[in-house]
Amino acid sequence: MDCSACTVLGVSCNGVDLSYPFNDTTIFWPGGEKFKLCMECSVSPQHGYDYAAGVFSCAEHGGTHVDAPFHFAKDGITVDMIPLNDLIGPCRVIDISTKCTQQNPNYTLSVEDILAHESKYGQVEEKTIVLVRTGWSQYWKHGPRAYLGFDEAKDGPYDSESSSLAFPGLSIEACNWFVERKVSAVGLDTASLDPGNSTDFIAHRILLGAGIYGIENVNNNIDLLPPSGFTLIVMPMKLTGGSGAPARVVATLPV
């Protein structure tokens, strides 16, 4: 279900789930361990109950997940240390989907894009969680080649210097702008903060180096969100020492 009526702190709202499920179709960053679930089920009529328990494993950076500052900054905080007041907060959605096309797959969010958003919806305040809607989530269902521009199952092992990826991301100037505004987090409906053709991962280095965590692979329910006026709740697994973690990301929209 895309949108569900719910109650948060006694207030009625509509909840929008922005997370992909984890299963054997989940897309991971190339080279990362894919999701595996080993489930053991038993039926115990003699005891009067059924029982199921499983073991799962996967890389930190796949599906809808959080990038902690430690991912690209050795002195940055790990995912378990991200404070709650950065994981829950007011959200903005900056829409650049009309600029992100198959003819221009590596488009990067510009400061001009941000300012155009502000001219319509007001200033992006400190501690805001910013989501960037590129429209790239439409390709998730078609698999890694469509979504990443690369499929290691067909193209061979991934190499950051020579493998060709293609999807939108953030410009250096936009990242510096977010740092100056002291936002809490920046997320996208793509596989990375950096565009697919990046080899230096400068967007990660700037944002995570400034203590701003990332949210990657937001699903296409981002299309249901307004530009402003709602709250985002980001709940990564609390992995001690983790550079990132799978996350449930939910928007709460006023009724």
pLDDT tens, 100-127? Answer: 999 999 999 999 999 999 999 999 999 9
C-alpha closest to that of 169 among 129, 203, 212: 203
Distance (Å, rounded) from C-alpha 135 to C-alpha 158? 25
Which pLDDT tens digit goes with each residue over 147-166?
999 999 899 998 877 788 99
C-alpha closest to that of 137 among 249, 15, 7, 5: 249
Query: Residue 83: its pLDDT value, please?
Result: 98
Are the C-beta atoms of residues 117 and 178 closer than 8 Å to each other? no
Q: For residue 4, what pLDDT band results from cuts at 50, 70 and 90?
A: confident
Structure tokens that stand for 221 in this block:
């329910």
Query: Residue 1: its pLDDT value, please?
Result: 54
Q: Which comes out higher in pLDDT, residue 241 or 6?
A: 241
Distance (Å, rounded) from C-alpha 31 to C-alpha 157? 7
